[in-house]
Structure 1
């Protein structure tokens, strides 16, 4: 499919306007829905290739014994693309010496490979070019509970359910969920930034629509049948806040979701530097739209997606 024919990316709006809930928010998907392919692709793939050249050790990692899983990930992805992306052909010559590096230009998603173990699933390999404020080098080789130890409420609420879900995932059963956050930087590669609290006076209610971005991860899960490793896909969407509030009802929904965040999650998501400006901007837009009587979601996903924190 030529670049000019690529469709616009979906606008995923997974935040909730009710009380904050720490839930997995999983939804089953069919095989053709595993990956997205849209107008993000040229920019994101170019950025992924740049990062592989300039920051390879930061965005690609593996552990001893992960070779079979990495090769299987490459081959499963190649087979899926040949079937579900018309015109795609597997390159005749590998572009990279590592199977996960080789797939970098094939999809907009990053992939983390997790192997079930006594302490829960362990991150054994990854191509992670677009982290949302975490470093791959600090997580590789560790179980999920340890990886998410700084996520407020994860250990008490989500740790065991996540481990059970990943341990019971069956071949051919694909699932998805979404994470959301508000960032002051649209960069795709963001290995740092959690826990910021200092006020940022440069972001105001007048410019928040242009200086803040909704960052959403569309996450997918599938079992690689030979290695019995879970392929965790992460597709990143970065949307200017002004485009979000242009959807009827979304300013009010997002404001309610932000207000419902517990203080520790608000701090974890680094909302404090611009929380007041963000809420003032959303409230103003809500008031301006009040006379129109539009309170629709604008998200066609039609599934319940929770507010689980990011790693």
Structure 2
């Protein structure tokens, strides 16, 4: 599909005003909405292919026994693209290639495959070109609860609901949720960066709109019917903060959401180096300024 015929990317704004609540926030979606295709897709695909070629060990991993589920995802994605993206590049592949390497140039989504286990869903394979500050090598072969152990309050609030949701997901049913953060770096491939605390004096209220970005993950879930493995898709959107606050009311809403993040999660998300500058900028862009 020619890039010129693709729509602009959706501006997902999933943050909520008020005190932060770690919730699953799942919404059902139809089959046709599984994969996003927009004007940023070709560039992201190009970057994915570069990363796969140059840093394969960092972006593709699996455990023994994951081959059938990987091949099932490949076949399901090929069928989806044929049905819903007929103008997109036809999905051809080398039969000898790893299925997750094969799908890398097809879509901008990353995929993690999660198989039910005694300790909850286990990450058995992934093509992860755009990690948001985590290393695939640290997580492969581990259950979801262990994967998210560094995330403050995840185990107490979200761990069991996530495990139950994945265990109850039925074939043919698709779901979506969103995750968001504010980053000082628009790079898509970010395997490190959590827990930064030193002040970043290069970011100030007068330049925060151009030096900070809203990073949103559109996360999809579906079961591969033959294997019973959950295909967890991640489409990453990185938007300059100035574009976000150009939407009426969003500066104030985002400021309220940032103020509602608990301190331990702020540290984990590395917001502390530029939190004051971010809030001052958002307050200046909104109708009324709240104190820092």
- Mark the CA change 1:109 to 1:138 in structure 2 (over 3 Å): closer, same or farther: same
Match of 1:249 in 2: 249
Would the aligned equivalents of 2:91 and 2:106 in 1 still touch at CA under 8 Å? no
Match of 2:36 in 1: 36
Q: Does 1:49 align with 2:49?
A: yes
Partner-residue secondary structure (3-state), 1:105? coil
Q: Distance in 1 between matches of 2:186 and 2:138?
A: 23
Deviations along 1:90-126, whole A, 9 cap, x unmatched? 4444297210000001111000000011100000000
Partner-residue secondary structure (3-state), 1:287? coil
Moved over 4 A (4+): none
Match of 2:184 in 1: 184
Contiguous gaps of at least 5 residues in structure 1: 290-311
Q: Distance in 2 between matches of 1:185 and 1:108?
A: 19
Match of 1:239 in 2: 239
Q: Distance in 2 between matches of 1:214 and 1:189?
A: 15
Contiguous gaps of at least 5 residues in structure 2: none
Q: Does 1:225 align with 2:197?
A: no
Q: Distance in 1 between matches of 2:72 and 2:110?
A: 15
Deviation (angstroms), 1:42: 1.4
TM-score normalised to structure 2 length: 0.97
Would the aligned equivalents of 1:82 and 1:89 in 2 still touch at CA under 8 Å? no
Would the aligned equivalents of 2:78 and 2:91 in 1 still touch at CA under 8 Å? no
TM-score normalised to structure 1 length: 0.91
Q: Distance in 1 between matches of 2:93 and 2:249?
A: 49
Q: Distance in 1 between matches of 2:160 and 2:279?
A: 34
Deviations along 1:155-195, whole A, 9 cap, x unmatched? 01111110000011100111000000000000000000001
Match of 1:271 in 2: 271
Deviations along 1:225-271, whole A, 9 cap, x unmatched? 00110000000000000000000000000000000000001111100
What aligned pairs does 1:278-297 form with structure 2 within 5 A after superposition?
278-287=278-287
Match of 1:175 in 2: 175
Match of 1:144 in 2: 144
Match of 2:120 in 1: 120
Q: Distance in 1 between matches of 2:89 and 2:273?
A: 47
- Mark the CA change 1:92 to 1:32 in structure 2 (over 3 Å): closer, same or farther: closer
Would the aligned equivalents of 1:110 and 1:127 in 2 still touch at CA under 8 Å? yes
Would the aligned equivalents of 1:96 and 1:102 in 2 still touch at CA under 8 Å? no
Match of 2:105 in 1: 105
- Give the root-mean-square deviation of aligned CA atoms: 1.3
- Mark the CA change 1:77 to 1:288 in structure 2 (over 3 Å): closer, same or farther: same
Partner-residue secondary structure (3-state), 2:259? helix
Match of 1:213 in 2: 213
Deviation (angstroms), 1:12: 0.2
- Mark the CA change 1:105 to 1:197 in structure 2 (over 3 Å): closer, same or farther: same
Match of 1:163 in 2: 163
Deviation (angstroms), 1:3: 1.1
